[in-house]
Amino acid sequence: MWTFTVKNKIRAAMLFFSVLCLVMLTNIQEQHLVKRINESVTSLYSDRLVVGDYIHKLSNRMEKLLILLSAANFSPKEVHSELKKIDQLNTLYEKTVLTDKENINFNKFKIYIQQITQNVNATDHAQAIVISKYARQTLETLSSIQVEEGKVKLDEVLSMTSTSRLMSYIEIVILIVIAVLIQILVFSAKVDMGAKVPKDHNLN
């Protein structure tokens, strides 16, 4: 009887230890997931939404630049002022994290801006207008990339939250199973302790 009870105690202790390990492992995994979710959300804001705003502002600047280049009363001062504002936005854009595809198109856009500046200095307004249109198309490409990358980041966040939710469900199921096993051990120990031991009868 005592041996059986000790075995039950050992089994119960092992089950409690399993619960402790499960809770610790789940906690570590959830902390890791939370960290990744925070990084993805931060990237979604800093490298996608903010950049989307830069692209929108650059597009407005390019539209204004095209108007200035096409104006009958051409003003070099206003054109150079607009190009300077575009360069300032480009500097902010460069500080964000760029994908390979985005980096290629952004470098192309910067080269177009340099060419426009050179054409304006050479008073070749017609060529400056042509290149400005190429630059505007490149911004449209960059805008499409932002939408694609934003969707990728959003899918990552949704996937990680789904994983976290699934792990929580699995943890609950395992804890319920362990709790049931512990109850079975406790019940079987009580039954064993309450069992009567047969007495020996003296033979006449």
Kindly report the pTM of this predicted structure: 0.62
Q: What is the pLDDT of residues 102-124, one digit of tens each?
A: 999 999 999 999 999 999 998 88
Query: For 95-102, which contacts have Cβ atoms below 8 Å and span 24 or more sequence positions?
Result: 96/46, 96/47, 96/50, 96/51, 96/54, 97/43, 97/46, 97/47, 98/47, 99/145, 99/149, 101/145, 102/142, 102/145, 102/146, 102/149
In a domain, 202, yes or no: no
In a domain, 204, yes or no: no
In a domain, 203, yes or no: no
Q: What is the CATH number of the domain that holds 73?
A: 1.20.1330
Q: What average pLDDT does range 92-107 have in this prediction?
A: 90
What percent of the chain is predicted at pLDDT more than 90? 32
In a domain, 54, yes or no: yes
Q: What is the pLDDT of residues 1-22, one digit of tens each?
A: 444 466 666 776 777 777 777 7
pLDDT at 1 (0 to 100): 44
Residues 51 and 147: their CA atoms lie apart, in Å, by 11
pLDDT at 25 (0 to 100): 78
Assign 97 a pLDDT band (cuts: 50, 70, 90). confident
Q: Domain of 159?
A: 2-194
Q: What is the pLDDT of residues 160-199, one digit of tens each?
A: 777 777 777 777 787 777 777 777 766 765 555 555 445 5
pLDDT at 56 over 80: yes
172-182: b or e for each residue (b if 16 or more CB lie within 10 Å)? eeeeeebeeeb
Structural domain count, the chain: 1
